Every structure is written in C-alpha cells, then in structure tokens.
Structure 1
Amino acid sequence: MAVRPMQPSDYEGVNRLYRSVGWPERSIAGWRWLEENPARIETGAPLGWVIADEADAPVAVVGNLVQRFQAGPRSLHGATGFSIVVPPSRAGASRSLIRAVLKQPGLFAAYTFNANPKAAPLYKHFGLRPYPDETHALKLSWRVDWVASLRGRLLRGLYARARAEDAHRIGERLLNRRLDAPRPLRLPVTVQELSDLSDRSPYAAYWRALSAATPLLADRSPETMRWRVSDPDQTRAPILLACVREGAIRGVAMAMIAKTSILEPPSLDVIDVTTLPGEDEAARLLVRTLIDNARGLGAAKVRLPMTSPGLLAQLGPLASRARKEGGWGHCHARILDETLAAQWSPTPFDGDFSICSRPAPLRPGRAARRASPAVGRVAKA
C-alpha cells in the first residue's frame, strides 16, 4: 500500500474517514489553519499522509503536527502523529502511516501523547517507548458536576454497542445552558485573563524568561500562541489565564471546553500549564482557578489529559485529590538524545490535544464564539 503526503484535494475524503469513526471534521478554513502552523511552514512538512485507492481517494490517514522546540540557543523540531484512521478493510496500513511520521528528517523526537488502548501496544514495534517513564499512563480529572457525570455514565451503558453511524439517531446529549451563557470568571487577585499576545506584550516578556530558564520547551512564542488560539473550528474561545505578581507574569494556563463524544458531558481540558522556576504555587493557583470556574462554564469535570513528573510535583496536593484516569500507556516517544529526553517535561500542549479536541457543539440558534475580541485584535499585531 503506497503512502503519499496529504494534499488539499484530500480534505473532503479525510473528513469522510473522520466521520466514519465519529471524530470531528475540519472545515476548509480549519484545514487552512493547520496549513498555517508556523513550524510546519518553517520545515515544509506535510499535514499528514494518506493511503489512496485506485481513484487516488484517501482510504486511510494520519495527521502530522510539527512543533518547534527551544533547547537553550538551539531551535529543534518534534512531531506527533494525530487522528490516524485505518478501516478494517485496510488492516496493516497503520504501520506504513506511522513509518511516514517517523521518517521525517531533522526531528529530535517523534511521539504520541494520545494513544488509545488498542493502538498503544503497536508503538513499541517502531522504537517508541512509554514516556515520561513515571506518568505515561496517567490522566487526572476533577469532577465539578456529579449529576452530569452520572448521566454520562448511564448513557454510555445504555448505548454501549452503538456505532459511529448511529450518532444521527442518538443525537447530541448532555449539553447545557451554561455552555452558551457562561458565568463570569471568578478570579483570585493575582490571576488575570490573558488576551494580549502581541510581540511586545507582558506575555512576550514571560516567554523570553521561560525559554531562557527551561532546558527544553515546546515553542510558546507570541507568534505560535496567536496561531494556536485562532482555530476557526473551535466553537468557544480557549481560556488563557496568567498569574501576575509585581507587574510580571509568573505562570500561564490554557484550557478548552471539549466534549469527547455525543454521550459524554462537556469537560474543561487543561491544555497547558507553565511557570517560571520556583513558581510552583502559580501552577496550583491556575489549575485551582480553572476547577473553581469549570461548572460555571458548563463543564462536568476538569481534565489534565497527560502529565509529567515535573508538573505532577508542581500540582502537589491538588494532584493527589484528582481522580486517576487512563490506565494504559497513552504516551509514547522516540527521542534520539537521552539528555534531551531527561530535560523534557511535556504538557498536553506538546501533544495533539488542542488540535484534535472535539468542540462542544453550540445549541441550535446560538452564534459561534470562536475567539474573544481581544485575541482577535492581537492576532493581527
């Protein structure tokens, strides 16, 4: 089975593959947004690879998210494959697609932080190992709406044998009014909403300090962050919070409202938490603030879909009170330099979570709120 890079003419066919497994499709604007990834433009990497049939239509696919990393003065690149779809009729094609991701030149690491239980055992055959060693199977969650969580469990039991093509019959469940009319955020005195991502903003100063103090870090420059928050397929703007003391940003958190499936209640997914050295309390305060506000935003729980030993230590007692999810090795990586492997403390930002999150749909009659006005302005800076 021949593998070739994904092309714009494939987008409709790739969306059909996503639809067949119940995953969110991308609009044309959404595909163009992925094309505009600064790291992808820098490297010339494809958006992914497909296996095509005799008519050159995609019959299997894997996405490709390239990211820039800072390692002191060096600029590196890593890549994660995402949204791999291989129908039963193409059994074995996943191996060719994974090899295509791994064969990219110039990568210090290739990885997945979002493997499902069936796919997880496959990665060891390609030289990927569970990573990080201590937390590769760990997800954390904090419930904030027990009634909605229970309803989700009951629905999953009721429709346990439902297939993706049954979605139209079942319909979207467990939406609520707060999703479209969220309560105003209740913020501690040292936490602020972050809206200015311009190149001369306090956030830009924070990024310079963070990258200078961290041995290995996925790029969170203003340019990259402006791109990240402008995904046109998100129905609600990402939440960006900053911990500010003495006029300077000490830590930043990013979260998104997601809905894993039609039968799951909405969740507030923590996509990123970073702090300057010695600012562990800022990490705890930011996550605690997200937990305190999650129900008012329409979420039934807050999720941290992957973690690292460093972030776990920063969260301290907050992590110990969380529900432990996962249970299988969903994080795997092939890192060529063991020194870099020891220095990397990834968050969900480094993976594909914000790219692949299923947005909670808007209820009928509600207008999309894809980005806050402030973010829209700075994105043009």
Structure 2
Amino acid sequence: MTTRPFAPADIDAVNALHRSVWWPERSKAGWAWLDANPARADIDAPTGWVVTDAANAPVAFVGNLIQRFWKDDVLFHGATGFSIIVPPSARGASRHLLKVFNRQPHVFAAYTFNANSRSAPLYGRHDMVAWPPRTHDLKLSWIIDPIDCLHGRILREAVKRAPHLTDPYRERFMHRRLGSPRTPRLPSQVSPVTDLGDRSDYAAFWEALRAEGRLIADRSPEILRWRMADPDQKTPPVMVAFRRDGVITGYAMALMAKANPIEPAILEILDLVALEGDAKAIPALMQALMAEGRALGAAKVRLQVLGEDLLRRLGPWATGARREGGWGHSHVRFNAGGPDHHAWSPTPFDADHAFCQRPVPVRKKRGERTPVPVRQT
C-alpha cells in the first residue's frame, strides 16, 4: 500500500468512500474551504492522506484539520484527525494512515475527539492514549422532547434488529418548527454575537481569554470568520455571548444537526467557554442554549467533548445531564517538546464536530425518500 497526501484530484474517490459508510460528503467548494484553513497554511500541512491501490486510486482516507493553540503568548499547532475511512477491501490501511497522521511534523498533539464505539479500540494500538483522563468517554445531553428521543431510540433498535421492516432512508421527525424557528427568550445578560470584526467586543473577549495563560485553541475573529464560511453548512450556527457590564465574559456556539434520517434533530454544542473569574457565564449560556434548542425544534441539546475544567464549571447542569458515550471517543498522541497539556480543557471546538455534522435537511414532501449519508458518532 502507498500513502500520500490528499489532492483535489482525489475528491470524487474520497467522497465515494464517505458514501460507502453513509457519512456526509463535501462539495468541491467545501474541500477548497478546508484547504484554505489559515492554521494549515502556517505549517503547510496536508488536508489529509489517502492510501492508494496499484492504479494510484484512493482506497482509504484520513482527514487532517490543523488548529492553532496558544499558551500565554506562544503559538503551537495541533492536528485533528477526521473521517477515518478504511473499508474491508483495504484492511490494514488504518495502520498506515494513523502512522503518517501521528508522526506529522510541527504539531504538539495529534488527536481525535470523535471516535465511534467500533473504532475506539483502534487508537490505543497506534501510540494514542485516551484523554482527558476523567472525561474521554463522557458526553452530556439535556432532553427537550422526551417523546421524540424515545421514539428515535425505538426506531434505531428496530432498524438494527429488522432492517427490512422499515425504510431507514426516509426522513423522520421533520417537525414544522424545524423550518420555522421561534425567537427564543434568552437570559437577560445573554445576547447573539453579531460582530466578528478584529475590533469587536468578541475580539476583546478572545484577547482576555488568551491572556489567562491556559492552553487554548485559537478562537480569534479570523478563525471564526473562516469557520462560519463553510459552504457545506447551509444553516449558520447559533452564537451567543454572556455580557457583564457590556463586556463579553463568555460565549457559546451550537449547530442544529440530524445524525441520520431516523433520528430527531439535536442542537450540538460546538463551543462553550468563559473567563475564569466569571462563575455565572457558563450556567447562563447553557440556559440560553436550551432556549435556542426549543425555538429551533431540537429534541435535545448535546455536548460531545468536555474537559475537566468545563465539567466543573457546568455545576448543576452537569449533575442533571444525561450521560452518553461510555467508550473512549477522545484519543491523543502528545509529541515531545510541546506545552503542558494539563492546562488544556477541550470542547467540541477543538475537534471535528463543527464541520462533520449532518445538517438538518430541507423538509421533503410526505413519503419522499432522502438517501442522505449517515454520520456515525
């Protein structure tokens, strides 16, 4: 097997690999957007790697998202692996892909925070450790519509046990409110983020956050503007900020997603962070996200990645959450000479969740099939 960097000529073959496992494909514009990642350009890293057959055609793939990190005023880079696809016909290719991903230069850590239950055991065999120690297998969710959540669970089990008895491609749970969101009632100190300019109040918050000295993924206005420009994300994320005396001290980002046609819509939390001195910001932002979820028609709100610091700061919200996961979905390989990773408390922003979610589809006519790939988490 030959391993080489992903190239634009590979798009059709790599999208076919995505289709083969029912994962969302990216448009050519979407692949170009990934390639235009400012952090990737810093270190001239590939957007991913492919394993090829004798005809140089891709038979397996791993994506490579580079992110900037800051510790005090020192810049580092980390690499997130995404869409690791190795079909049975390419058995053994995962070893080659993870080797080149883990050993790429100029990154302090190579990691995935989105492993599914089937792939999770793979990473420990390739120099990656389950991390963070207490939260690598923890996902939190808050139920909004218990009836839809229950029906979705029953339908998943029915499809798993007797797939011939139902149509797994027909979109379910496409409620009217998914296309007609209401205006949520936000807490008094929470309001939408509408300005991502370099001199905005959000920019001032980012500088204050970076100055605290924790190891933190770059959330600068430049990076958020790039993230918001993803051409394959048709619905913009929710962005809200907690303000104290007019100054932002915390913010959250979330996105409506529908993992597959037979599951209800979920408001996926993509980021949730606040200045260390503000104990009220995280709880107020959670209250706002629950209000947004109800207004948008979500069956639940979910947080799929969290570090120990965020778990602590959630307080009663963590106590009352439903525990999901149960397998090690977060694995990291730390390289020598990097920053002290004990100061890193990741959120889904650090992972691939922002651009690997399956969007909520446009509502179809009754009975119309929607054979959209399934995102497995």
Indicate the TM-score class for this superposition, using the shorter chain for normalisation: over 0.9
Corresponding position of 1:35: 35
Decide whether aligned partners of structure 1 residues 208 and 134 sit closer, same or farther in structure 2, where only a CA change above 3 A counts.
same
Decide whether aligned partners of structure 1 residues 227 and 127 sit closer, same or farther in structure 2, where only a CA change above 3 A counts.
same
Corresponding position of 1:113: 113
Per the TM alignment, residue 21 of structure 1 is displaced from its structure 2 partner at its CA by 0.7
Identity over the aligned pairs, expressed in percent?
51
Cα-to-partner distance string for 1:47-77 (whole Å, 9 max, x where unaligned): 1001122332211100000100011111000
**Worse-superposed segment, 122-131 or 232-241:** 122-131
Structure 1 residues 183-198: aligned runs within 5 Å? 183-198=182-197
Maintained 8 Å contact 1:198/1:204: yes
Corresponding position of 1:262: 261
Per the TM alignment, residue 247 of structure 1 is displaced from its structure 2 partner at its CA by 1.6
CA–CA distance in 1 between the matches of 2:166 and 2:234? 20
1:287 aligns with 2:286: yes
CA–CA distance in 2 between the matches of 1:10 and 1:81? 18
1:13 aligns with 2:13: yes
Q: Which amino acid aligns with 1:43?
A: I
CA–CA distance in 2 between the matches of 1:68 and 1:108? 10
Corresponding position of 2:90: 90
CA–CA distance in 1 between the matches of 2:131 and 2:77? 18
CA–CA distance in 2 between the matches of 1:214 and 1:61? 36
Number of aligned residue pairs = 364
CA–CA distance in 2 between the matches of 1:329 and 1:357? 19
1:246 aligns with 2:245: yes
CA–CA distance in 2 between the matches of 1:4 and 1:167? 41
Maintained 8 Å contact 2:209/2:274: yes
Corresponding position of 1:54: 54
Q: CA RMSD in A?
A: 1.8
Cα-to-partner distance string for 1:55-101 (whole Å, 9 max, x where unaligned): 32211100000100011111000001100111111111111111111
Per the TM alignment, residue 105 of structure 1 is displaced from its structure 2 partner at its CA by 0.4
CA–CA distance in 1 between the matches of 2:167 and 2:12? 20
CA–CA distance in 2 between the matches of 1:251 and 1:304? 16
State TM-score, norm by structure 1: 0.92
Partner of 2:280: helix, strand, or coil?
Answer: helix
Corresponding position of 1:3: 3
Decide whether aligned partners of structure 1 residues 78 and 339 sit closer, same or farther in structure 2, where only a CA change above 3 A counts.
closer
Per the TM alignment, residue 322 of structure 1 is displaced from its structure 2 partner at its CA by 0.3
Maintained 8 Å contact 2:71/2:339: no
Corresponding position of 2:374: none
Unmatched 5+ stretches in structure 1: 366-381
Partner of 1:160: helix, strand, or coil?
Answer: helix
Corresponding position of 1:76: 76
Unmatched 5+ stretches in structure 2: 366-377
Partner of 1:75: helix, strand, or coil?
Answer: strand
Decide whether aligned partners of structure 1 residues 169 and 311 sit closer, same or farther in structure 2, where only a CA change above 3 A counts.
closer
Corresponding position of 1:123: 123
**Worse-superposed segment, 323-332 or 181-190:** 181-190
State TM-score, norm by structure 2: 0.93
